[in-house]
Chains A and B, each alone.
Chain A
Amino acid sequence: MEHPLSVSDVTQAVKQTLEMQFPPMWIIGELTSFSQPSSGHRYFTLSDPHSQLRCVMWRSRSITGFRPTAGMEVLAQGQLTVYERRGEYQFNVSQLFPAGVGQQLIAYEKLKKKLSEEGLFEEDRKRPLPEYPRTIGVVTSQTGAAFRDILDVLKRRFPSVRIVLRPALVQGLDAPEDIAQGIVELNDFGEVDILIVGRGGGSAEDLAAFNDETVVRAIADSMIPVISAVGHEIDTSLSDIAADVRAPTPSAAAEIAVRDVLEVREQVGRLTLRTREAMQRLLDENKDLLEAHEGSYGMRRLSDLIFQNAQHVDELHRDLYALLRRLFESRLADYYRMTGKLGSLSPLSVLERGFGLVQRGDGSVVSDAGILTPREHLHIRFAKGEATCRVEKIKR
């Protein structure tokens, strides 16, 4: 006969085997005999038509969103263990959900794990947002508060930005396909710089589309950077994890998408001022340089040279003028001499002395009064002007 084991030894061995053999798991069943004594710990049984499983859930674990009551289908996550005092195995529960919600959660975790393994959520996949988008694409309900909020924020922060909405159903069975299609269409459209995908807050069921594989993949595959804007505070949707930037609300997404135009104006103003100041400095430096040059010997030499040349030019001018003047005066003298000689021969010079030249009507000069007839007209030329006269009396 072998050496007998103590009860504790066996129990310990069973406990170890059990705990090592069964990793944490999800179990679905009907909740029966739920109790919560003053200690705060909960004791209950999960059943199906063939078996029962004793469960414990410690006070430190919280139950959210529902009140467990007997008869309810629930989903429990936990670890199989052995309660040594009684030698009974039991399920140590860490999370408890109504079956429907629980299944969603399992699907969520499963999809998250799958996409994560594919690398869809990798940090290095995240694209930076352009700082000054010209067009923002939005995929959400056209009539929803989310779109309204996005418009309000964009109008306030950067009014010149263009907004292109691709209206999409955001809840219901057709929502995932429609949202994903919207993301694809805005990519195909080609003029969009940033995409905002989301909706306002709602229940877990309302937000289900943003945990849908189709939507999450469309976000990850988008060529345009995506800001997710699913209105919720606690849970993170898979869309949020796949997006390039996560915003807690649609308004916040719009805030992230554009800078405040006032800030940008100020920046432009500062840069412009710096441009002017730098130019002014350059001009001042150059002015100083110029003034420094003006005082230098080289510069003085130069201006001296200029003045000397000017003086020389003046002298040349003067000489030339004198020469011309002399030339002119000698010519003038010649001229006078010539005209003087001519003058003494001219009949006009006789007239100057008071004589008159008398001519008849045919132009002949009269030197004998005997040829005249009474009442005949005669022309008399003076040094200045002439007169017509009538013969009154003739003396031979």
Chain B
Amino acid sequence: MPKKKTEETTFEAALEQLEIAVNHLEEGALPLSEALKVFEEGLKASNQCRSLLEDARQQVEVLVRDSDGDFELVAIDSNKGFADE
């Protein structure tokens, strides 16, 4: 897999966290204090999922490689500037 930015939580990771919380709680074998902790983590993951899904702006960029072989990204407006083929 290509390298990824690791500093932000990915949707996949947050969703997995939420699923883990549900499974732990549904097993029902946790002591109450532990369960509360898992519950809080589950809600936190749920909020993360929602906020990651809410970002509604479409980000469109064009990849340009310069003569040094470095990459440059040029943002384009996805709502205009297209002609039919």
Binding site for B on A (CB under 8 A): 130-132, 134, 137, 141-148, 151, 154-155, 159-167, 185-193, 199-200, 223-224, 261, 264-265, 267-268, 271-272, 274-275, 278-279, 281-283, 285-286
Report how far A167 CA is from B62 CA in the complex, Å.
7
Q: Please measure, in the bound complex, the distance between the C-alpha atom of A163 and the C-alpha atom of B71, giving whole angstroms.
A: 15
- A281 CA / B22 CA spacing, docked (Å): 12
Measured between C-beta atoms, what is the minimum distance from A227 to chain B in Å? 16
A145 / chain B contacts, CB cutoff of 8 Å: 84-85
Is B82 within 8 A of A148, CB to CB? Answer: yes
* Residue of B22, B36, B42, B59 most packed against chain A (CB within 10 A): B22
Bound together, the chains give a CA A186 to CA B71 distance in angstroms of 10
* CB < 8 Å neighbour of A163 from B21, B50, B61: B61
> Do B2 and A191 touch across chains, with their CB atoms under 8 A apart?
yes
Q: Is the CB of A163 within 8 A of B2?
A: no
Q: List 22 A-B contacts (CB under 8 A).
A: A132-B15, A134-B10, A137-B63, A143-B82, A151-B60, A155-B58, A159-B56, A162-B59, A165-B60, A165-B76, A185-B65, A191-B5, A193-B2, A261-B53, A265-B50, A268-B49, A268-B53, A272-B42, A278-B26, A279-B25, A279-B35, A282-B28
B78 is an interface residue with CB less than 8 A from chain A: yes
* Interface SS, B side: mixed
Contact with A along B14-37 (1 / 0, CB 8 A): 010011011001101010100110
CB within 8 A of B78: which of A151, A224, A283?
A151
Are B63 and A166 closer than 8 Å at their CB atoms? yes
From known contacts A143-B82, A143-B83, A145-B85, infer whether A275 and B32 are also in contact, taking CB-CB under 8 Å: no
Contact B62 A142 (CB under 8 A): yes
Contacts of B43 in A (CB 8 A): 272, 275
| Partner of A192 from B2, B12, B19, B53 at Cβ < 8 Å | B2
- Interface size counted on chain B using CB atoms at 8 A: 47
Residues of A with C-beta under 8 A to B58: 151, 154-155, 159, 161, 163
Residues of B within 8 A of A (CB): 1-5, 10-12, 15, 18-19, 21-22, 25-26, 28, 30, 32, 35-36, 39, 42-43, 46, 49-50, 52-63, 65, 71, 73, 76, 78, 82-85
- Nearest Cβ on chain A to B62's Cβ, whole angstroms: 5
Chain A residues with CB under 8 Å of B42's CB are: 272, 275
A111 CB to nearest chain B CB (Å):
26
Complex interface: chain A residues within 8 A of B1 (CB)? 223
Q: Indicate if the CB atoms of B18 and A271 lie closer than 8 Å.
A: yes
User: A160 — which chain B residues lie within 8 A by C-beta?
Assistant: 52-57
Least CB distance from B18 to A in Å reads: 5
Determine if B10 and A162 form an interchain contact, defined as CB atoms under 8 angstroms apart.
no
CB atoms of B32 and A200 under 8 A apart? no
- Chain B residue numbers with a CB within 8 Å of A146 are 85
B35: A residues at CB distance < 8 A: 279, 282
Give the docked Cα–Cα distance between A91 and B29 (Å): 79
Q: Is the CB of A159 within 8 A of B57?
A: yes
- On whether the beta carbons of A200 and B85 are closer than 8 Å, the reply is yes
In Å, the complex CA distance between A208 and B85 comes to: 16
Interface centre among A188, A267, A282 (most CB of B within 10 A): A282
Most buried by A among B2, B39, B65, B84: B2
- Whether the Cβ atoms of B25 and A278 lie closer than 8 Å is yes
B25 shortest CB reach to chain A, Å:
3
Q: Which residues of A contact B54 (CB under 8 A)?
A: 160
Q: In the bound complex, do residue A282 and residue B32 qualify as a contact, i.e. CB atoms below 8 Å apart?
A: yes
Question: Out of B11, B32, B63, which one reaches A165, CB within 8 Å?
Answer: B63
Chain B residues with CB under 8 A of A161: 58
Is the pair B39, A275 in contact by a Cβ cutoff of 8 Å? yes
Chain A, residue nearest B11 (CB): A132
Q: For the A-B complex with A143-B85, A279-B25 known, give 9 more contacts whose Cβ atoms are closer than 8 Å.
A: A132-B12, A144-B84, A162-B61, A163-B59, A223-B2, A265-B53, A271-B15, A279-B35, A286-B32
The answer to whether A132 touches B2 (Cβ under 8 A) is: no
A271 cross-chain contacts in B, Cβ below 8 A:
15, 18-19, 22, 46
Q: A185-B63, A282-B32 are in contact. Are A268 and B56 (CB under 8 A)?
A: no
